[in-house]
Amino acid sequence: MELSVRLLFIFVASSALLGACGTTYQMPEIDQANLAEANRILTEERGSGISRNLSDEDAVAVYIQVAADIEPVAEQFCREEHPDEPFSFCDYEFRVNTDPSAPVNATQRYVDDRPVLTFNRALLTSVRNPDELAFIAGHEAGHHIAGHIEKKQQQQLAGALLMGVLMGVAQAGAAYNNPYYRSDPNAVGNAMAAGGAMGGHAYSQTYELESDLIGSYIAARAGYDPEVGARFFAKLDKDEAGEEGMNLWSTHPSSPERIAIVLEANREIHQKIAVGASLRPDVEARMPASPPTPSGPKSAW
């Protein structure tokens, strides 16, 4: 009886952890019209010199310009959303990874409780204009503002607990029905590891779309065009051609879906500008109370 109560408690606690995850902001609805426009943009981009890269000199100039514009806007946006947090919570640091072998990528992680955005050299030379890099930077800043790393950690814990409980119940039932049953001493641990992996992927695609939403607002507030910036997805889509379709284990949504979110976000932005409303997406859930424990970077792409 005592074991059953403990298992029930763990099950309820892990379910509550999963329930606390999800998006912070109200996500725009993607309809067929948005997807059709997104696919039109992708088709247009694929035939327009999409493979061209910036020179190292031009990439440095664009990065310096965008970092100077986006960093203060992202910090102000963060402080508006987290007014009770200490200064360091929204004190972004921008870094460049100059390793020529590093892939086209940007990441958000934490160093001494400070959000750090790192842009690989290959990414900086792959963007074609400041709008693309501004959107990417806003997207990365959005991961921190929405607490995605913290939420992923909660999901991993919840998934591990749930799978551990299920395996424990299964083993207890097998032992009850068969006095000769020998349980696998590694079964619960293996189940928890699998549950943690599944839990960590549960909302990954949704979080990327939410960061696209936040990144659109940050880019727009800094004077950039998020629709132009989101065209970078067409380049990623081409580079990833030949891969299998998206599934549960894919951490990023399809390019049409991401562009469609940005199109709808940009429509919201212009509506708010027209009525003099604050350029902030509508909040849907409670903000995280503190920065998560560093556990590796959050990748943008």
For residues 203 and 205, the model is more confident at 205
Winning range, highest mean pLDDT, from 14-28, 79-93, 180-194, 226-240: 79-93
- Give burial (CB, 10 Å; 0-12/13-18/19+) of 149: buried
What is the overall mean pLDDT for the chain? 79
Determine which of 104-108, 156-160, 207-211, 262-266 has the lowest per-residue pLDDT on average: 156-160
Give residue 231's identity as a one-letter amino acid code.
Answer: R
Residue 134 · residue 224 · CB < 8 Å: yes
Strand ranges, E, within the chain = 93-97, 106-111, 114-120, 298-299
Q: What is the mean pLDDT of residues 192-220?
A: 78
4-32 pLDDT, tens digit per residue, is 545 555 455 445 445 555 778 988 888 89
DSSP-derived pairing of the beta strands 114-120 and 93-97? parallel
HEC sequence for 255-299: HHHHHHHHHHHHHHHHHHHHHCCCCCCCECCCCCCCCCCCCCCEE
pTM of the model: 0.75
CA distances to 54, 155, 161, 200, 256 from 41, rounded to whole Å, are: 21, 35, 43, 32, 9
In the chain, what percentage of residues exceed pLDDT 90?
47
pLDDT at 249: 36
Q: What share of the chain is helix, strand, coil (3-state, %, to 5)?
A: 60, 5, 30
Give residue 184's identity as a one-letter amino acid code.
Answer: D
Q: What is the mean pLDDT of residues 214-220?
A: 98
pLDDT at 250: 42
Half-sphere CA count of 8, side-chain side, radius 13 A: 5
Q: Which residues of 108-144 are buried (b: 16+ CB within 10 A; e: fewer)?
A: bbbeeebbbbbbbbbbbbbbbbbbbbbbbbbbbbbbb
For the chain, domain boundaries: 2-153+198-299
Q: Which residues partner with 91 through β-bridges?
A: none
Residue 128 · residue 54 · CB < 8 Å: yes
Per-residue pLDDT at 51 exceeds 90: no
Q: Which residues partner with 119 through β-bridges?
A: 96, 106
pLDDT-derived band at 207, boundaries 50, 70, 90: confident
pLDDT at 175: 62
Please tell me the distance from the alpha carbon of residue 1 to that of residue 172, in angstroms, as a whole number: 12
Question: Which of 19, 18, 21, 30 lies closest to 213, judged by CA?
Answer: 30
Report how far apart the first and last C-alpha atoms of the chain are (Å, whole number). 48
